[in-house]
Amino acid sequence: MALLRFAGDGSSSNTASSNTVSRFRLTLALAIVVLFGWEPVLAQSASSGSAQFQAQIDEVARGLAGHPRLKNVSDQKRQQLAEFVVGNMLFVLMHETGHALVTEMELPVLGRDEDAADAFAVVMLLKVGTSMSHRVVVEAAKAWFLTDLRDKKEGDKPELYDSHGLDEQRAYQIVCLMVGSNKEEFKDLADETNLPEERQETCQRDYKHASWSWAKVLESHLRAAEQNKTSKRPIGREKASSISMSNRFARFECWRP
């Protein structure tokens, strides 16, 4: 995967035609359904939904061909632009969901809130386990690498006091969590970003800690898939732990009323 090969003026997404904007909104709505497994639309299978999601991205990319600033851009680069924008929109959605969970459920956070929200987004997208959800995480890492390169080129100094980590650090932490979840599957990504072998070995620990920590703090707020949607009875700890957290999280009814 060409992580750092991205072409196209980033400002073009702000000046897209109204038709393209409408397609983006439709794409995002469909992406949410496909990626997170909420109640299937018209009982579509996951594979069918993924295919439709890709078709929507393809449609967006074709729509960009009519934009004055992109008319001389190749089809491949327009496709990359569409996937980059949609992928980062979805990552931001998951990142902000992590913040919302911490606030609304009064979850403890050891460390920086922004790091915890990033970890939530990465872990949950990896647990979805589809090629599309993995691409979303890759696009997010790409964005932070590119932002770091842009700032260095323009001579912008990093704000070391900021509540967020440095852009390049955030990018590498995303890559690290991906490698930690499955070193073999994401070996090419680690090599492309020059993640040292010794760091790759410790990434597995980072991923396990992030995954376990989020599972632990959310455990008391989850209910079993077979539990009646209107039931407010508490779940036994043993019963709750026997059900995959990712499966429960991915459905609306997993949240206790």
pLDDT in tens, 82-135: 888 888 999 999 999 999 999 998 999 988 999 999 999 999 999 988 888 888
Look at residue 66 in the predicted model and tell me its pLDDT: 83
Look at residue 227 in the predicted model and tell me its pLDDT: 64
Max distance between CA atoms of the chain, in angstroms, equals 60
Q: How far apart are CA 218 and CA 105, in angstroms?
A: 9
Look at residue 36 in the predicted model and tell me its pLDDT: 44
- Output the pTM of the full model: 0.68
Q: Each residue of 197-235: b (16+ CB within 10 Å) or e?
A: eeebeebbebbeebbebbbebbeebbbbeebeeeeeeeb
List the domain boundaries for the chain: 11-221
Look at residue 231 in the predicted model and tell me its pLDDT: 52
Q: What is the mean pLDDT of residues 6-20?
A: 43
Q: Phi-psi category of 48—alpha, beta or left, where left has phi over 0 and alpha has psi -120 to 50?
A: alpha
pLDDT > 90? residue 50: no
**Secondary structure (3-state) at 141:** helix
DSSP assigned state of 194: T
Cβ atoms of residues 24 and 85 within 8 Å: yes
pLDDT > 70? residue 138: yes
Among 27-31, 41-45, 111-115, 137-141, name the one with the lowest average pLDDT.
41-45
172-231 confidence digits (pLDDT tens): 999 999 999 999 999 999 999 999 999 999 999 999 999 999 999 998 887 766 665 555
Look at residue 21 in the predicted model and tell me its pLDDT: 42
Look at residue 5 in the predicted model and tell me its pLDDT: 42
145-175 confidence digits (pLDDT tens): 999 889 889 888 888 878 888 889 999 999 9
